[in-house]
Amino acid sequence: MEIFATMIYWFTRGGMVMYLLLAASIISLAIIIERFRYYQRKAVNVEEYCNKLTQRLQSDSIDELLELLQGKERAADIMVAAGLRAAKGNRNVEAAMESAAQLEAAKLKKGLPILSMLVTLAPILGLMGTVVGMIQSFSIFDVQAGSPMAITGGVGEALVATATGLAVAVIALVGHSFFSYSLDNILTKLEQISSLVMEYVVVKA
């Protein structure tokens, strides 16, 4: 309870910019939580997936495979289904899977530009709050000449905004870096699965 009271105290001392930083932190955490859950639904164990897919491609017809993949949410399932539909319709299988993979990549990137923006914006907001606070402190110092605490205390409070802005930027940066790595990892797996489909789909078609 004491920690919470301390946080409230310093929050109120940071100035109006603290409300903007609070909003930025909430947005960052919301995106990180939502993306984490989304990426979990989209990810696959590529070795296990390829083994099962190989068995299905060898034993099942295209119609059976499409029925099995219907309603699936994983990026790999959506891409494979697109390739199989293209094969069934005598269309370009590789182009169909590439288009599906690009669409899934766009969905996976959702929210990442906002995190990237907050990495830059949060420190700037914090710095702005600090500058405003220091200007106010120097104004007080001019009025209360001979009172060093009037300025040192004000500067200390003003620096809260900078510290908060840096903290928000760190959270956004960690989230953005993690999801960028996860995105690259998923796309690499999709390429592996796409190659496997291309190897077998001609026979099934």
Per-residue pLDDT of the chain (205 residues; tens, 9 = 90+): 666 666 676 667 667 888 899 999 999 999 999 999 999 988 888 888 888 888 888 888 888 888 888 888 899 999 999 998 888 888 888 899 999 999 999 999 999 999 999 999 999 988 888 887 777 666 655 555 555 555 555 566 668 888 889 999 999 999 999 999 999 999 999 999 998 888 876 655 5
Q: Is residue 2 part of a domain?
A: no
Looking at residue 138, its pLDDT comes to: 66
Tokens of 150: 């009037």
Q: Residue-wise over 160-171: b if at least 16 C-beta within 10 A, else e?
A: bbbebbeebbeb
Q: What pLDDT does 113 receive?
A: 95
Q: How many domains does one find in the chain?
A: 1
The span from the CA of 88 to the CA of 80, in Å, is: 12
In a domain, residue 1? The reply is no
- Tell me how far the alpha carbon of residue 56 is from its chain's centroid: 34
Q: Which of 75, 55, 51, 56 is nearest to 67 (CA)?
A: 56
105 in a structural domain: yes
User: Domain for residue 120, yes or no?
Assistant: yes
Q: What is the pLDDT of residue 59?
A: 82
Question: Contact, 190 vs 75, CB < 8 A?
Answer: yes
Does residue 168 form part of some domain? yes
Residue carrying structure tokens 């300025």:
151
Residue 4 lies in a domain: no
Distance CA(42)–CA(161), nearest Å, equals 38
**3 belongs to a structural domain:** no
42 within a domain of the structure (yes/no): yes
Helix, strand, or coil (residue 111): coil
Predicted pLDDT at 161: 84
Q: Which domain holds residue 33?
A: 10-204
